[in-house]
Amino acid sequence: MPKAALFMGSKSDFASLEGCVRVLKSFGIDTTVRVASAHRTPQVVAEFAAGARANGYEVILAAAGKAAHLAGVIAGHTTLPVIGIPVKSSFMDGLDSLLSTVQMPTGIPVATVAVGGGDNAAYLCAQILSIKYPEIARKLAEHREQMAAGIARDDAAVAEQARTL
């Protein structure tokens, strides 16, 4: 079974990550969800990340706000792919979180999604795992077809709405 971990820096981040958890579940990805902080509980983060590959994890997602070093610290302790999710913070609308997550030194990348982009982090996780798991590849293709069908419906509906104005 595909195995991932989703870390968040604070319980206050969880509300913005429910969609992420739902998408991961929809692809059958067994996800360990943890609250741990690069600053408040650095040893917990370091120990998990250092042992993640040996413990069967394949991708790690990490969400944090403000001085959002969580994904970067995890990436420094593992060679697994790390997906960073900048959480929208109260003072700079998440620009602080985005820059803290994405501006990594050469050699230690964090694949960073948009501010509040938890759902896309889960889709990216599924895409990475699809290399190994054909069932995830199948579900991704199905999801793309469903999205295209939705857009085709919207296309027709908006054209009709415009015609009647």
Contact positions vs ligand RP5 (CB under 6 A): 9-10, 12-13, 37, 64-66, 87
Burial of 165 from C-beta contacts in 10 A (0-12 / 13-18 / 19+):
exposed
**How far is residue 86 from each of residues 12, 15, 112, 117, 122, measured CA to CA in Å?**
13, 13, 8, 7, 14
Give the nearer residue to ligand RP5 in terms of CB position, either 2 or 86: 86
Alpha-carbon gap, residue 50 to 29, rounded angstroms:
21
Alpha-carbon gap, residue 28 to 43, rounded angstroms:
30
CB of 87 to ligand RP5, least distance (A): 4
Give the nearer residue to ligand RP5 in terms of CB position, either 65 or 118: 65
Give the nearer residue to ligand RP5 in terms of CB position, either 81 or 86: 86
Give the nearer residue to ligand RP5 in terms of CB position, either 9 or 84: 9
| Residue of 68, 85, 90, 99 whose CA lies nearest to 24 | 85
CA count, 13 A, side-chain hemisphere, 14: 7
CB of 79 to ligand RP5, least distance (A): 24
CB of 127 to ligand RP5, least distance (A): 25
CB of 70 to ligand RP5, least distance (A): 7
